[in-house]
Structure 1
Amino acid sequence: MSADIVIAGAGIGGLTCALTLHEAGFRPRIVEAARQLRPIGVGINLLPHAVAELTALGLGDALAEVAVPTAEMAHFDRHGNRIWAEPRGLAAGHEWPQYSLHRGELQQILHDAVRDRLGPDAVRTGTALSSLAHDGDPLRITLRSSATGARTTEYADVLIGADGLHSAVRALLHPGEQPLPLWNGIRMWRGTAVGKPFLDGRTMVIAGSNATAKLVVYPISRRAERRGDALLNWVAEVRVGDPGPVEGAAWNRTGRLDDVLAHFTDWRLDRLGLDVPALMAATGEILEYPMVDREPLERWGSGRVTLLGDAAHPMYPIGSNGGSQAILDARALARALTASHSLPAGLRAYEQERTDPVNALVLAMRDMPADRLLQAVAQRAPDGFERAEDVLTTEELDSIDAAYRRTSGR
């Protein structure tokens, strides 16, 4: 079935959705509120099942050119003592790698593919959704120019809200929802800096506890790796406030070095080859962000309108799920539309397939059992330890495995 489909949002989910719908014979076009698509952001992880979907779209070679295939994720205490680790991607027996790469490079790969396959006008920037009349056929959509404020009316058979945490489409579909995202009290700082490879050059390190201070570091550039360097993505997490609705949650908000460095002044993890203060000081731009999500929705859309990615299910950045789940959404949506006798039936089939699994992930992220155990290690052995088994029981160590199985699956 051919249909004219408008996608609000040119992020990872929206671009993947456009590529998949085009492949299936639909006519997708994207409207994006930002006036220019730039390769902004920091690192992102793609789980093997998301890599498989992008490879099926013909993007496997482009990903392999820029991304680092992550081989291991390992937890350490704040002194660099190893607590627990597991293989990832190919090293764990998956058919596809887990990739770590710069979010901007991933978005660029997707955007280039959309332009090549759908044409140069497939993504219209500087165009925000203003209102929606979805009680007729076709849909009547009002768009607003981000530059001039001028409004235009257009028509479409389907509207997909892939417009992120502050989704305009979600707000129109669910006007009674709490308008602000929900903060868990943890502040995150993020950045990238060129450094030396550490450990095997393919490990994601998680050290400390976010009850006091926690650090995540991993390499994200295959090009830097080929030069003998490492482009290191780092994320610092510190609990600084009480949970509740929060204003100002934006991925591109600039943070201050002094604010984050105050929590990591003496973090020199010699065993891992990481000088954390030096890494942070070498960072060109630091981003600051509250760890937020929203309450899961029982239904995402209505009629010929639905949601996708963070617009549908924003979640904490645990288990490498945000971008991966948006990609899985996009692929599932196209399959459901192709297989259904009508567009509304296809959208509901998509939601029935995806809502329960991703809502369960949102709630699993909130539980954060691995972080509770990292906090227990910090409390039981504040000055370090020789063996993890002297600090955590076998059952506690096994529970970390179980927690990541819950948060790293489909």
Structure 2
Amino acid sequence: MPSLSNQPKFIIVGAGIGGLTTALTLHAAGFSNIQIFEASHQLTTLGVGINVQPSAVLILRNLGLLDALEQTGIKTEELNFYNRHGNPILSEPRGVSAGYAVPQFSIHRGEFQMLLLAAVKERLGEACLHLNHALTSFEQNDLSITARFARRGSDLALPAELSEVVADVLIAADGINSTARRLLYPNEGPPRFSGRMLWRGCLEREPYLTGASMVWAGHADQKFIAYPISQRSATRGKSLVNWIAELRVRAKHDPDLTPPKTDWTKTVNKSVFAGPFETWRCGGLEMKDLIAQTEKVFEFPMSDRDPVKRWTYGRLTLLGDAAHAMYPIGSNGASQAIIDAETLARHLADSSNDLLSALKLYEQDRLPATAKIVMANRANGPDHVLQLAEERAPDGFTNVYDVIPKDELEGIGRAYKAVAGFEMDSVNAKAKETNTLAGKLGLTSPRDWV
């Protein structure tokens, strides 16, 4: 790789999971001239729980981050599906317990973001991150791309510290409400609302089931999800449980797909949603107790976007939710952003003398694959087992195989894993091939994290 002065310059818009992982994968591929621009004026441990699938954990392992992940998140052991009456539908081992060479992690989104940020600052230097820089526009020519930034919100009247930046490539990882995507697709409009609202919270309590179990209960229009997300709590004999209550709030065939206005940083009154879950019990959990004992609850409209035909326009490409926002079904959104980052860095390293071709090859690899996941998630993905149980036995059952044959039940999960790209054989083969990669690159977890 050439010296810094001769290297291509990369602008990453967005310092979320996708943007930070992109910076790390580019660095691991030998690039160093990387600048990250984030619209927020500070980065904190906001958010609740997410899952990172083995296919993405493998990429993070190869970036030297496995130790930090193990000290932060929970190595998920199993996923249990129940109907709304608490009858067990299916139990699947997950991660290492299922035979993967690397774990699945359930982890606090904010802590995961801070872990990635610590690695970025250690490897690329703190000066690579520019907060309070909201992308406003861009223009490009045969030689470069220019991004323009302003301060966010009430500060928009004030110029950003770096109001104009010239680079070779602009990677837009600026989320479901991406400015870059809006500039490329000005007629697209807001995200597409599913008609379902999510209420999310975290509660530290006694462990349930294995202490590393995920619980999925209900059906398409009313669902409850819970899983532990903190190794720090586990070392104290406790379980920090991330929970999600989901309800349909708009008719299924309502033509209005505009999401309701919400502020996910503000708490909501639990009476808005708690009633329908009053009698729900499964997996050693009583949903009413989880809700009642949680101090702060946040509201999220469950939304996605239609797949588009292109992500890459010359020197600009989209990544993560900016490219393929999807319903949080299948525990897969963050994982796909991480896979995007690894794929993009690999193509750029392989074609560093032809960056535009590299961006198109990245698009060719990832756009069709993620479009399939977006549509699979709209069809309920692996959660379809819940809907089948509800439709075929709305009053409950004694034996699930009387309702859904074993082969049909297990086939739903297998089909989704194939679509989502985390089939165990392919993940394990890649894990074996890259087992020593982090060591060869000298990559280790951030010093102030472990």
Distance (Å, rounded) in 2 between the aligned partners of 1:404 and 1:205: 18
Normalising by structure 2, we get a TM-score of 0.86
Distance (Å, rounded) in 1 between the aligned partners of 2:276 and 2:117: 38
Residues 177, 322 of structure 2: 8 Å contact kept: yes
Identity within the alignment, %? 45
1:262 aligned to 2:267?
no
Matched to 2:321, the amino acid is D
1:157 aligned to 2:168?
yes
Residue 334 of structure 2 corresponds to which residue in structure 1? Answer: 323
What SS does structure 2 have at the residue aligned with 1:263?
A: helix
Following superposition, the deviation at residue 373 of structure 1 comes to 4.1
Residue 94 of structure 2 corresponds to which residue in structure 1? Answer: 88
Normalising by structure 1, we get a TM-score of 0.94
Distance (Å, rounded) in 1 between the aligned partners of 2:284 and 2:54: 28
Distance (Å, rounded) in 1 between the aligned partners of 2:203 and 2:388: 31
Residues 7, 159 of structure 1: 8 Å contact kept: yes
Residue 181 of structure 1 corresponds to which residue in structure 2? Answer: 191
Alignment of 1:36-51 (within 5 A): 36-51=42-57
Inter-CA distance 358–114: structure 2 relative to 1 (3 Å threshold): same
Residue 228 of structure 1 corresponds to which residue in structure 2? Answer: 237
1:361 aligned to 2:367?
no
Residues 40, 103 of structure 1: 8 Å contact kept: yes
What SS does structure 1 have at the residue aligned with 2:273?
A: helix
Distance (Å, rounded) in 2 between the aligned partners of 1:394 and 1:247: 39
Which of 382, 403, 422 matches 1:391?
403
Inter-CA distance 82–321: structure 2 relative to 1 (3 Å threshold): same
Inter-CA distance 163–250: structure 2 relative to 1 (3 Å threshold): farther
Gaps (5+ residues) in structure 2? Answer: 2-6, 423-450
Moved more, 145-154 or 86-95: 145-154
Residue 217 of structure 1 corresponds to which residue in structure 2? Answer: 226
Following superposition, the deviation at residue 395 of structure 1 comes to 4.8
What SS does structure 1 have at the residue aligned with 2:118?
A: helix
Matched to 2:41, the amino acid is R
The root-mean-square deviation of aligned C-alpha atoms, in Å, is: 1.8
Alignment of 1:52-201 (within 5 A): 52-146=58-152, 147=155, 149-151=157-159, 152-176=163-187, 178-201=188-211
Residues 369, 419 of structure 2: 8 Å contact kept: no
Following superposition, the deviation at residue 175 of structure 1 comes to 2.1
Distance (Å, rounded) in 2 between the aligned partners of 1:92 and 1:232: 22
String of CA shifts for 1:215-236, please: whole Å, max 9, x gaps.
Answer: 1111111111111110001111
What SS does structure 1 have at the residue aligned with 2:277?
A: coil
Distance (Å, rounded) in 2 between the aligned partners of 1:405 and 1:322: 14
Residues 336, 346 of structure 1: 8 Å contact kept: yes
Matched to 1:353, the amino acid is D
What SS does structure 1 have at the residue aligned with 2:377?
A: helix
Residues 329, 383 of structure 2: 8 Å contact kept: no
Inter-CA distance 325–249: structure 2 relative to 1 (3 Å threshold): farther
Following superposition, the deviation at residue 332 of structure 1 comes to 0.9
Following superposition, the deviation at residue 382 of structure 1 comes to 4.0
Matched to 1:366, the amino acid is R
Matched to 2:238, the amino acid is D
Inter-CA distance 128–315: structure 2 relative to 1 (3 Å threshold): same
Inter-CA distance 372–49: structure 2 relative to 1 (3 Å threshold): closer
Residues 74, 229 of structure 2: 8 Å contact kept: yes
Aligned positions, number:
406
Gaps (5+ residues) in structure 1? Answer: none
1:337 aligned to 2:348?
yes
